[in-house]
Amino acid sequence: MKPIEFERAFDPRRCRHMLEGRVSVLHCHHYSTLYTQLADDCSLLDARGLLARVAADTFFAVLADIQRKNDLRTAAERIAAAEQYYGWAGLGRLKVIAAGPDAGEAVLERSHIDEGWVRKWGPRERPVNFITQGFLAAVFAAAFDGRPGQYAVRELESIVSGRERSRFQIARQ
């Protein structure tokens, strides 16, 4: 598949950057990992799940728009576009290695969140990439015409724990 040219625009009156028609902002790994840490530490509610759900909802809308705009009809085209968007957004190098409407697997070869976490605080045992868990739920929902809430994502191995790659398992609930 030919790489997608993602659209950019700047509205000088409002000082807003639009990427693929959506207001978008630059943030650094300090911000994204502190949001992640906030979710991880929060004892008031399941904030890890909340962060993953917000990611799933947000990226599902983005990916569905990209699919419509580029007339992507097959699961392979849709997954390739999602992987490309993930890297373009600066989240890392993500590869879906197997996918069907009911389940699949993905690996993360480079990771903004994991590598940002290690730079800031060093490695740790438990996974931290709740944002990518949500992103993958969105990828599968968009690829197979489902809803992001239908997919559960588990992170089995993590770059943040010293592994070479992070590994995710995706299943329809």
Count of beta carbons in the 10 Å neighbourhood of residue 39: 20
Q: Is 161 helix (H, G, I), strand (E, B) or coil?
A: helix
Nearer to another protein, 72 or 118 (CB): 118
Cα 71 from chain centre:
21
Q: Which residues bind another protein (CB under 8 A)?
A: 6, 8, 10, 12, 14-17, 19, 22-32, 34-35, 38-39, 42, 44-45, 47, 50-51, 54-55, 57-59, 61-62, 86-94, 109-110, 112, 115-116, 119
Q: How far is Cα 158 from Cα 160, in angstroms, rounded to an integer? A: 5
Nearer to another protein, 15 or 173 (CB): 15
Q: How far is Cα 97 from Cα 42, in angstroms, rounded to an integer? A: 33
Nearer to another protein, 86 or 151 (CB): 86
Q: How far is Cα 60 from Cα 147, in angstroms, rounded to an integer? A: 8
Nearer to another protein, 9 or 98 (CB): 9
In angstroms, give the least distance from the CB of 163 to another protein: 16
List phi, psi (to 5°) of 126. Answer: -85, 150
